[in-house]
Amino acid sequence: MRLGTKENPRHICGISGGKDSSAMAIYIKKNYPEIFEKLELFFTDTGSELPEIYDYLEKLEKYLDKKILRIKADPNHVNKFKVVAGGDESNPFEDLLKQFKGYLPAPNARWCTRTMKIVPLEQWIGDDYCISYIGIRADEMFREGYISRSKNKNIQPILLYQQDGLVLKDIYKLLEDTIGLPEYYKWRTRSGCYFCFYQRRVEWAIMYKLYPNLFKESQNYETEHDDGRTFTWVKDKPLTYISENAEDIIIRYIKRQYKKTQNKEQFTYSEQEMIELVKNKRLRELIDSWDMKKLHDVDGENKDGCNVCAV
Ligand code: SF4
C-alpha cells in the first residue's frame, strides 16, 4: 500500500537538536516500538548550527540506531530543498541573504525560519498524509509549534507528552538515563542557528569567547554590504559592542545568577572564583562546571521563537 495516504500515513518526528524533541524520539522508541519502526526522523538543517548540535544529533542517532534525515534549504533548486548526509557544508543562509538584499532576519521579519525550515519541510512532506509527533510537554500548554498550528489538513499533530502527562522533570530523567542533555545547554537556552537573534547578550558574549570564528561570521553578515549598509543582530547594538564588552557582560551575568540562586552549593566555584576564571581566560572550565539543569531552572527556558527552531 502506498505510504502517505489517509489509510497508510507517514509517521514523522522533527528533531531540533533541543532536549524536548530529542527526548521524544527516545520516548517513542522505548514506549511505542511499533511507531518507532516506521518513524521518519528529520532535522531541518540551516547549515548554520552550532557544532555541538551536530554532535548531539550524532549521539542521538547512535542511541536510536536510526538515521536522522537532514533536510536542507536549496534556494536555487526548483524543489527548494535537498536531503543531505551529515557533514554537508552547503550554506543556504548566504544565498538567501543575497535574495533578501542583506536584510538580516529579526523577530518581526523571520524569513530565516520560513525559507530554511518551513518551506523545505513542506516540500519534503508534499501532499502526503502524515502523523507528526511533537515535543510539546504537558507543562507548557502555552507553546505552539508550526505543525501543531498548521492549516495543512494532511498533517495530524500528536502531542504525546501531553497525552501521556510528561513534564519537564520527565524529559530530564529520560535524557539523563540515555544520552544526556545537549552540551550547548551549558551556555545557551535554545537550539538553532549560531547567529540566532533570539539569543541573549550573554550567549553572544560566550560565543565570542568559545567560537570566535562563528562570532566573526555573524559580524560579517552585519557589515559586508557593497553599499556600506549595516544591519544588527541585537537590537540597536552592533556585535562589536558585544565583543568589546564580552568579559563584563559575562561577569554581570555571573553576579546576577549568583545573587538569585538560593542554594549556592550548586556552584562548584564561589562567585569570586568564577569571575577570576573569566578574567583568566578559563571560561570553558567554568562553563563545564555549570549544572545545566539547574541553570535552566533558574533562568527559565527561552520561550521565544517557535517549535520549528527550538523544541
Ligand atoms: S534558529 Fe533563529 S536564526 Fe535560525 S531559523 Fe530559527 S529563528 Fe531564524
pLDDT tens-digit readout, 271-287? 999 999 999 999 999 99
Which residues of the chain are under the pLDDT cut of 50?
A: 298, 306
**Residue in this structure with the C-alpha cell 544565498, named with its chain if needed:** 95
Which pTM was predicted?
0.90
**Residue whose CA lies nearest to ligand 1 atom number 5:** 113
Q: Is residue 304 part of a domain?
A: no
Alpha helical stretches, state H, the chain: 19-31, 33-38, 51-64, 92-99, 111-113, 119-125, 160-164, 168-176, 201-210, 212-223, 239-260, 271-279, 283-289, 292-299, 307-310
Is the CB of 50 inside a 6 Å radius of any atom of ligand 1?
no
Ligand 1 centroid to Cα of residue 49, in Å, is 9
pLDDT at 297: 52
User: CB of 198 closer than 6 A to ligand 1?
Assistant: yes
Amino acid 225: pLDDT: 80
* 214 and 146 housed in the same domain: no
Query: How far is the centre of ligand 1, averaged over its atoms, from the C-alpha of 305 (Å)?
Result: 8
Are residues 154 and 23 located together in one domain of the fold?
Answer: yes
Q: What is the pLDDT of residue 228?
A: 78
Let me know whether 176 and 53 are in one domain. Answer: yes
Domain shared by 80 and 168, yes or no: yes
Looking at ligand 1, which atom is closest to the CA of residue 310?
1
What pLDDT is stored for residue 292 in this prediction?
65
- Residues 92 and 232 occupy one common structural domain: no
The per-residue pLDDT for 266 is 82
124 and 32 belong to one structural domain? yes
d(CA 279, ligand 1 centre) in Å: 31
Q: Give residue 147's pLDDT.
A: 57
Does residue 172 form part of some domain?
yes
Residue 87: strand, helix, or coil: coil
* CA–CA dist 32, 306 (Å, integer): 26
Same domain? 33 vs 65: yes
Give the CATH number of the domain where residue 19 resides: 3.40.50.620
User: Other CB atoms closer than 10 Å to residue 67's CB: what's the count?
Assistant: 12
267 lies in the same domain as 237: yes
Assess if residue 271 is contained within a domain: yes
Whether residues 168 and 275 share a domain: the answer is no
**Alpha carbon distances (Å) from 90 to 81, 95, 211:** 12, 10, 20
Q: 205 and 240 share a domain?
A: yes
Would 191 be classed as within a structural domain?
A: no
- Check residue 176 and give its pLDDT: 94
In a domain, 72, yes or no: yes
State which ligand 1 atom lies nearest to the alpha carbon of 198.
Answer: 2
Give residue 261's pLDDT. Answer: 84
pLDDT of residue 251: 96
End-of-domain residue from the set 152, 181, 210: 181
Is the CB of 196 within 6 Å of ligand 1? yes
One domain for residues 121 and 266: no
Half-sphere exposure (Cβ direction) of 305: Cα atoms closer than 13 Å: 25
User: According to DSSP H, which parts of 211-238 are helical?
Assistant: 212-223
Is any atom of ligand 1 closer than 6 Å to the C-beta of 302? no
Question: Is 192 inside any structural domain?
Answer: no
State the residue range of the domain holding 159.
10-181
3-state helix, strand, coil in the chain (%, to 5): 50, 10, 40
In a domain, 305, yes or no: no
Does 193 map to a domain? no
**Can you give the pLDDT at residue 299?**
53
Domain count, the chain: 2
Do 116 and 224 reside in the same domain of the chain?
no
